[in-house]
Structure formats: structure tokens, C-alpha cells
A = this chain, B = another copy of it.
Amino acid sequence: MSHFLHAHIREIIDLTDDELEILQGFFTKKRFRKRQFLIQEHQPVHEIFLIEKGILKSSIIDNTGKEHILQFAAPNWWISDFAGFFKQETSSLAVECIEDSEVYAVSYEDLNILCSKVPTMERFFRIKSNFGYVALQQRILSLMSKSAKERYEDFIQQYPGFIDHIPKQLIASYLGVSRETLSRLYS
């Protein structure tokens, strides 16, 4: 059984050994190399991913061909095209590895079956979703009301330790500033 998976779940809820055994069967371990896509745009979204190793990003390409980064994710974070997944629509985002990565995948059908068989997992995903909601809310307020310098400081705080693992061009895209502006912020 995966120690990582259990430790991750037990940060939020208590599960019996039997429940952990059931849970294990619903997650599939997958490995991806740097630059591989977990999700490509305009495709059905089958799974959400819990990251054990690596760094990933979700992003959108606008009409002018410019990439906008919605989220970075490192170990213990979840990533997917959540809109596509929860609404069972095709993806508008792409999810791609920034480094070689190992993840646990769970499908839409299995997520619902798991929550029926182990109702405490409903609570786990509710709490995770609540905290995800709060993080996005902070991101919106940051985009609306803060200077580039303050957004950069928020980034350092929200993604501690990421700064040395993510190409500067991607951080600039996440912050919505040019590469040159970013250089001025961290120099």
C-alpha cells in the first residue's frame, strides 16, 4: 500500500485500515516525463491527479497564441482541468509536466463510487475543494487589487521552494507580467 497516499488523506480525515485498503484500489499510479501532457486541450477529461513527485502546470492558450498559467502543482497538490472533470465536458486547459513526475490518478466514475463506498472520502474531497476555492479567491483578489511586486510576493508565499524549479518565463506568465518586469521584481 502507498504510504504517500495514506499520509496525504490522513492529513484531513481518519480512515480505518479497511477503508484505506478499499481506497487504494481506486487510484492508479502513473509516471510522466518532463514536457509530457496529462491533459490536452479540447479532449474529454477523465481523471484528476494527486502529485507524489515532480512539478506540473495547467494553462490556457488565448486567441493570440499567448499562454496563461492558471496553476502550478508540486507534491501533495491536485491538478486537472477541474471544469472539464466536474462538468464532464471537454478540456479548455492543458496540464503538462515541468519536471519528470509521478502522480495518482482517479477517474470521475471511480471518484463517485469511492465516495459511496467510503463516505468519509466525501468529507475529504469537500474540505480539499473548500481550500482550493479559497486559494483561487486569493488569486482573483491578487490579480484585481495588487501590484506586480505584491503578486510576486504572494507567489513566493503560496509556492514556497518552487521558485528555483520553475523557468522564469512560466512564473512571468503566471503573474501576468513580462519576463523583463519579473527580472526587476526578484533582482
Q: List A residues at the B interface (Cβ < 8 Å).
A: 60, 62, 66, 68, 70, 82-83, 86-87, 92, 115, 119, 122-123, 125-126, 129-134, 136-141, 143-146, 176
**Residue from A122, A137, A145 whose CB has the most chain B CB atoms within 10 Å:** A137
By a CB distance below 8 angstroms, the chain B residues around A122 are: 119, 122-123, 126
User: A138's closest neighbor in chain B, by CB?
Assistant: B83
- Contact, CB under 8 Å: B136 / A136: yes
A140-B141 contact, Cβ under 8 Å, with A119-B119, A125-B126: no
> Which of B68, B82, B138, B146 has a CB less than 8 Å from the CB of A134?
B82
By a CB distance below 8 angstroms, the chain B residues around A145 are: 60, 62, 66, 68
A130-B66 contact, Cβ under 8 Å, with A122-B123, A143-B140: no
Distance A94 CA – B70 CA, assembled complex (angstroms)? 26
By a CB distance below 8 angstroms, the chain B residues around A130 are: 82, 86, 129
